[in-house]
Amino acid sequence: MANLVPPHVKETSIEVMEQYAKELLSKGLLQSEDLYRYILETSVYPREPEPLKELRHVTAGHPRARFATSPDAGQLVAMLLKLVNAKKTIEVGVFIGYSLLLTALTILEDGKIIAIDVNRETFEIGLPIIKKAGVADKIDFIESEALPALDQLLQNPENEGSFDFAFVDADTGNYWNYNERIMKLLKVGGVVVYDNTLCQRFILVLY
């Protein structure tokens, strides 16, 4: 079996991290474990900031770790954030906060993130690491279902067309509803990224 664990992980956590990496592999399009290992070891792990490494290790021990954003997908998100010079962003679906921390580390120093999730408890697992990274002040966490929270944002006319970037990693059955609202919140030239639009190598068709 190919070893998907980066060299800095302690021996006591290797089994957990190995299982976590295999779960992330099962979510994507790649069918080769060796290829995924190569991508992680040569491109992803060497560029992953220390706070994200720490948060990934914490996430790996959670029973629902497979719901986390994979580190390779995170690098794509970071690249897109930099391309649009993002300052004001929305995140729908936070979980323990890997993509949220990545966004906070990547956006401009005076940037802000509206983060929406129904479960504050999982967010608070990663919150100490977010605070240690010095970016907690960029985050406005809203504990709520996403649709009413987005509708609330739209009630303020100043929010329309004001966001540079949105990342959605939530219940795929509502992606169409989220998209209708997020399109009104994004500025012209803004970017929205939807996770899990390709799932188990099948395209999710939303009606």
The number of beta carbons lying within 10 Å of the beta carbon of residue 111 is: 20
Q: Which DSSP category does 169 fall into?
A: -
Can you list the positions of beta strands (E) in 50-185? Answer: 88-92, 112-117, 139-143, 163-168
pLDDT in tens, 129-153: 999 999 999 999 999 999 999 999 9
Q: What is the pLDDT of residue 13?
A: 56
pTM of the model: 0.84
Least Cα distance to 181 among 205, 207, 149, 204 occurs for 149
Tell me the mean pLDDT in the region 21-41: 72
Least Cα distance to 103 among 122, 123, 77 occurs for 77
Angle, nearest 10°, between helix axes 71-83 and 50-60? 140
Residue % of the chain over a pLDDT of 90: 70
pLDDT in tens, 151-190: 999 999 999 999 999 999 999 889 999 999 999 999 999 9
Largest distance between two CA atoms of the chain: 54
pLDDT at 10 exceeding the cut of 90: no
